[in-house]
Structure 1
Amino acid sequence: MLPIILRRLALSVPLLLVVSAITFLLESFVPGNPARTLLGLNATQEQYDALRAALHLDRPVGAQYWLYLRGALHGDFGNSLFTDEPVLGLIGQRLPVTLSLVIGATGLASAVGILLGVYSATRGRLSRRLVDIVSLLGGALPNFWIALLLVAVFAVKFGLFPATGYTPFADSPGQWSAGLVLPVVALAIGGVAMIAKVTRDAMLTTLGLDYIRTLRASGARPASIIWKHALRGCGLPLVTTIGLTMIAFIPGTILIENVFTLPGLGTTVVDATNQHDLPVVQGVALTFTAMVIVVNLLVDVLYGFLNPKVRAQ
């Protein structure tokens, strides 16, 4: 198992380099000029040229990227062009918000999706058709529209949860959890549909295998057959689907955080893109990539627990 993890980590290095290079190149095409934005319209040309030189904006894109890469290799990801705050410090402040959304949505989508999938696989055709309908709706409806609908109903009409804002867990655990309910639900709905459908299909296949028939013939309890044996047999496709769902939630937080005004990496990268704040955009892009790498590593580890052949490689 350890060699597999080491290979994945080795492959992640060129991936991070490619992501940083593509982000740097694409950001150079975004309209706007940070030097002009910082100085305003009343600055002289001499002031403008001096600031461009100080920010290395007067150099070719390749030279700018090399300066950034050399600093990043030494642990220096630069400072925000507008707040002069270190990028790593800014990401450290905003990352807990995004992680709360991603982990919370993954947990909710997994629990509800597995329950729906198992129920539909064991209760007949009507329930299976209902899961198909839920899957279709969950995949078709955009999560930002669902977020606005949740705000209109549960925040504005009934006042059950706050519509916007974020309270740190250390300040008030109750307000922290209440503020995350609507964003997590809005983000998780699409994942619930996908996980339910995969669970249903995998469970139907597993329940038709010979060892399940043997367990039934030996008098094993139905609940034990479903939740202990059959569900474990669905482990590999379930782990794959949950991992892909979690990866999809990472960029999905950008829209959700902006709808609910949450101070996470999603709102940070939108503001930084509008301001042409390249060090912050680069830092967030690399953080998102690192999160994807971590999720893939977790999936590989779970594969090893579920399939002994993977551990033997």
Structure 2
Amino acid sequence: MIFYIAKRLGTGIVLALLVTLITFLLLASSFEDVARTILGPSATPETVTGIMQAKGWDRPVLVQYFDWLVHLLQGDLGVSVYTSLPVADSVVQRLGVTLSIIVPALILTAVIATALGVWAASRGGVADRIAQGVSLVGYLVPGLLLAIGLVVICAVQLKWLPATGFTPFSEDPAAWVRSITIPVIVLMIGGIANMAAQVRGRMIDELRRDYVRTLRTRGIPPRQIVLQHALRNAASPALTVMSLEFIQMFGAALIIENVFALPGYGSFAFNASLQGDIPVILGIAAFGVLLVVVVNLLTDLANGWLNPKARVR
């Protein structure tokens, strides 16, 4: 098990290095343009050269990358070019807002999708058709259209929920719940459709296996067979789908946060990209890939616990 964890962790570290290196190489070509943007219309070749030297952007790209990497390992991501605020503190603050909508959405998605998929696979008939109908609707309805519709109905007409804005949990838990309700629902719809279909398909395969027939002949209650045996064997692919849903929700947050004016990770990344704030973009890339690596590692560990055969891969 230790070797399995070390192997997965090593793969994640290599992935993180590759992603941050590629990001740095792509940004390197825009260093001079960013310097001109900072200086404004009055920029001259001499002042551009001066700010490039002051920022260290005139050095070889690989030297700059390794210097940034050393500071990253020390917890220092530099400061924003435009606000002069520490990048690490800004990213962590914005990441907390994003996770406050993604984590509830992911948990609710997993619970509802698993229940729907198990119900459809074990009952069949009308239950199966209802589950497939729900999945089809989730696939077909665009998230942006759903967001606009919920705002019009729940915020504008019924005035149940706020249309935009975010209230921290520490300030007012009830207001926090109201502020994230619509974004969470929007993130959940597509995830439930995808995950329920995966759970349903896997559960149908498991319920057709020989060990299930053997358990039935021994008089094991159907509920116990479904929940204690078939569902555990079907959980491994579902966990993989859930990790992919987390990454997809993380990407969808870019749109959701701009629609609902949430001061989160996605809107922060969007604004930094428009401004060409290189330290912030690098910090966002580092935190993003770190989060993906951690989620994938936890998923692999859970799969290894549920299915020991997965540890040999």
Give the fraction of aligned pairs with identical amino acids, expressed as a percent: 41
**Distance in 1 between residues matched to 2:79 and 2:66, nearest whole Å:** 16
Classify 1:146/1:254 alpha carbon distance in 2 versus 1 (closer, same or farther; 3 Å).
same
Q: In the alignment, is the contact (CA less than 8 A) between 2:161 and 2:178 conserved in 1?
A: yes
Give the aligned partner of residue 259 of structure 2: 259
Alpha-carbon distance, 1:42 to partner: 4.5
Gaps of 5+ in 1: none
Q: Which residue of 2 aligns with 1:84?
A: 84
What displacement does 1:29 show?
5.4
Structure 1 residue aligned with 2:292: 292
Does the 8 Å contact 2:31/2:57 carry over to 1? no
Q: Which residue of 2 aligns with 1:307?
A: 307
Deviations 1:119-142 (A, max 9, x none): 222333443344334333323433
Question: Could you report, residue by residue, the CA deviation over 1:7-39 in whole angstroms, capped at 9, with x for unpaired residues?
Answer: 122222221221112212333456993333333
Q: Secondary structure at the match of 2:121?
A: helix
Deviation at 1:191, TM superposition (A): 1.0
1:143 correspondence with 2:136:
no
The alignment's C-alpha RMSD in Å is 2.5
Aligned runs of 1:26-65 on 2, under 5 Å?
26-28=26-28, 33-42=33-42, 46-59=46-59, 61-65=61-65
Deviation readout 1:168-205 (Å, 9 max, x if unpaired): 11111111122111111111211101111111111112
Q: Which amino acid aligns with 2:195?
A: I
Alpha carbons of 1:26 and 1:44: their partners in 2 closer, same or farther (altered >3 Å)? closer
Give ranges in structure 2 of 5+ residues lacking alignment: none
Deviation at 1:311, TM superposition (A): 5.6
For the Cα contact (< 8 Å) 2:254–2:266, is it kept in 1? yes
Does the CA contact (< 8 Å) of 1:34 and 1:81 recur in 2? no
Query: What are the within-5 Å matches in structure 2 for residues 1-313 of structure 1?
Result: 1-28=1-28, 33-42=33-42, 46-59=46-59, 61-310=61-310
Deviation at 1:267, TM superposition (A): 0.8
Distance 1:134 1:128 in 2: 10
* Separation of aligned partners in 1, 2:141 and 2:216: 40
What is the DSSP-based 3-state SS (H/G/I as helix, E as strand, rest coil) of the residue aligned with 2:82? coil
Contact 2:77/2:283 (8 A) holds in 1: yes
Alignment check: 8 A CA contact 1:32 1:275 kept = no
What is the total number of aligned residue pairs between the two structures?
313
**TM-score of the aligned structures, taking structure 2 as reference length:** 0.89
Instruction: Output the CA distance in 2 between the equivalents of 1:10 and 1:219.
Output: 46
Instruction: Name the amino acid aligned to 1:7.
Output: K
Kept in 1, the 8 Å contact 2:166–2:176? The answer is yes
TM-score normalized by the length of structure 1: 0.89
